[in-house]
Amino acid sequence: MNIKDAAEKSGLPAKTIRYYEDIGLVTPDRAVNGYRDFDAAHLHKLTFLAQARGLGFSIEDCRNLLALWEDQDRASGDVRSIAKQHLAEIESKISGLEAMRATLADLVETCAGDDRPDCPIIDRLQGPAK
């Protein structure tokens, strides 16, 4: 199968698939004309990558997960450990964003948003409450 079909079936852009080949995540065969040729196994791997990236795993996480995926004797604890760590990172990002949201929402609310030059948002950005 050519790259476009692989892209459609995996849900990844063709550009991304070429990039993944560059960095050694997949190694499609090559047809005599030089075109990449994907089989079911490659497609499976690409789908795996699309899923994992969609869940926010980094490329390096994906590399590790792929290795575990291909290892018949893997311990599910290894996978769980990567997932747990990633979960912790996500939770920390959420907290950070929620703090930002609170501050910003507060600022937006106290700002009249009219044509006068006073603006509590600008005031606040001058420095923390001082």
Partner DNA sequence: CTTGACCTTCCTGTAACTGGAACCTCTATA
Partner DNA sequence: TATAGAGGTTCCAGTTACAGGAAGGTCAAG
The residues binding DNA (CB under 7 A) are 2-5, 13-16, 18-19, 32-36, 53, 58-60
- Residue 117 CB, shortest distance to its own copies, in Å, is 6
Closest CA to 3 of 18, 23, 19, 25: 18
- Cα 22 to Cα 16, 18, 27, 69, 115: the distances in Å are 10, 6, 9, 20, 53
Interface ranges with its own copies (CB under 8 A): 44, 47-48, 51-52, 55-56, 65, 68-69, 72-77, 79-81, 83-84, 86-87, 90-91, 93-94, 97-98, 100-101, 103-105, 107-108, 111-122, 124-128
Nearer to its own copies, 32 or 129 (CB): 129
27 interface partner picked from its own copies, DNA, none, CB below 5 to 8 A per type: none
